[in-house]
């Protein structure tokens, strides 16, 4: 009885400590997960041979990080200067543009009834308050940047020393259960690694479709905006909303019809992606049902916001492997029901 009481107390203390350290544990978990996801790419670089030279793991990791940084640098180096110039011109011409925008808005019946002049005045006041908010919240954003840098460093260390940590963790498990756990973890690693391929496919599809749609609508900076749409799609829902607002704002500088076209495009694409592309691509890559993917996204967003949505699908793949290994009973009746279900779906 004393042993049970002591064990219960230790469990409660561990849960309390985990709650206090939840932000740190979340950072460690996300870093470890991305290390698992990126390891196949690192191993591909390790397998390359340049004459007799074969890159070490450290060199492969540095090459991967530098490639990502170089791609982002090229994108912003060639794409941002015209945007910044137009923003500078727009802010200097804003006092003259406001009457033009108000006159254009009056042509829309609903906006005319709402009182466009008052909305414009409130918009200027809101812009000032937003600027004040950005200045006051600068320390918070700097904290997020620090967390991002910490996660990057942790991810590099996990890729360098993850195998040693993995075998050290397995050494704590009883020998009779070690092989089963190792088998489940290897299967989970394979599924989680394929998540990057599925997510990359979704990012590529959105980037290409957005660039084509924005180009046909003659939206300013359509190539940069389409590329950002694809990159930010790695953050489910939130990334798309942020970039579509930027695209809609750029289109609104020219005409309301362009802005409406951008919004209509995204509404249609969001329905296609959430209802068709995401369930099928993720099912193919991480072997999860479409319903499981959607539920995982909802749960991840509710638990940890953007970060939770970002890691929800690979986490669901990990959980699914352990459920399959330790909870699912593969008896004859269950297999028969599964065969019938597949026949009905077919």
Report CA-CA distances (Å) from 195 to 28, 29, 185, 228.
19, 16, 15, 20
- Assess whether pLDDT exceeds 60 at residue 191: yes
pLDDT tens sequence across 12-26: 999 999 889 888 888
Q: Which residues pair with 53 in a beta bridge?
A: 50
pLDDT tens sequence across 51-106: 788 888 888 999 988 988 888 788 777 766 776 666 666 666 556 665 666 566 55
95 or 315: which leads in pLDDT: 315
Please compute the mean of the pLDDT values over residues 39-44 and round it to a whole number.
Answer: 87
- Assess whether pLDDT exceeds 70 at residue 8: yes
CA distance 342 to 37: 30
For 26-40, 278-292, 326-340, which range has the lowest pLDDT when averaged over its residues? Answer: 326-340
How long, in residues, is the chain? 346
- Assess whether pLDDT exceeds 60 at residue 138: no
Query: Which stretches of 9-114 are assigned E, i.e. beta strand?
Result: none
Which has the closest alpha carbon to 210: 177, 183, 233? 233
Q: Output the pLDDT for position 13.
A: 93
The model's pTM: 0.69
- Assess whether pLDDT exceeds 60 at residue 169: yes
- Assess whether pLDDT exceeds 50 at residue 279: yes
Q: Output the pLDDT for position 116.
A: 47
- Assess whether pLDDT exceeds 70 at residue 120: no
């Amino acid at each position: 009885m004393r042993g049970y009481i002591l064990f219960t107390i230790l469990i409660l203390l561990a849960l309390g400590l985990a709650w206090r350290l939840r932000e740190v544990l979340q950072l460690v978990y996300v870093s470890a997960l991305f290390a698992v996801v990126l390891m196949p790419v690192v191993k591909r670089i390790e397998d390359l041979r340049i004459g007799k030279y074969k890159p070490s793991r450290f060199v492969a990791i540095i090459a991967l990080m530098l490639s990502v940084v170089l791609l982002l640098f090229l994108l912003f180096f060639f794409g941002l200067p015209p945007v910044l110039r137009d923003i500078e011109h727009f802010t200097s011409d804003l006092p003259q543009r406001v009457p033009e925008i108000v006159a254009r808005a009056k042509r829309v019946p609903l906006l005319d009834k709402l009182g466009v002049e008052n909305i414009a005045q409130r918009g200027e006041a809101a812009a000032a308050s937003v600027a004040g908010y950005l200045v006051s919240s600068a320390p918070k954003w700097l904290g997020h940047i620090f967390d991002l840098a910490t996660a990057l460093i942790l991810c590099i260390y996990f890729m360098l020393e993850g195998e040693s940590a993995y075998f050290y963790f397995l050494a704590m498990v009883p020998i009779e259960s070690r092989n089963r756990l190792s088998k489940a973890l290897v299967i989970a690693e394979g599924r989680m690694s394929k998540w990057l391929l599925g997510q990359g496919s979704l990012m590529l599809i959105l980037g290409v479709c957005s660039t084509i749609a924005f180009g046909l609508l003659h939206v300013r900076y359509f190539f940069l905006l389409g590329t950002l749409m694809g990159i930010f799609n790695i953050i489910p829902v939130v990334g798309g909303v942020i970039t579509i607002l930027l695209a809609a704002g750029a289109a609104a500088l020219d005409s309301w019809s362009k802005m409406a076209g951008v919004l209509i495009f995204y509404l249609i694409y969001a329905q296609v992606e959430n209802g068709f592309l995401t369930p099928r691509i993720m099912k193919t890559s991480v072997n999860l049902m479409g319903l499981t993917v959607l539920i995982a996204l909802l749960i991840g967003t509710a638990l940890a916001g953007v970060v939770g949505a970002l890691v929800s699908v690979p986490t669901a793949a990990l959980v699914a492997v352990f459920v399959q290994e330790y909870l699912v009973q593969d008896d004859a009746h269950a297999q028969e029901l599964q065969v019938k279900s597949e026949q009905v779906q077919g």
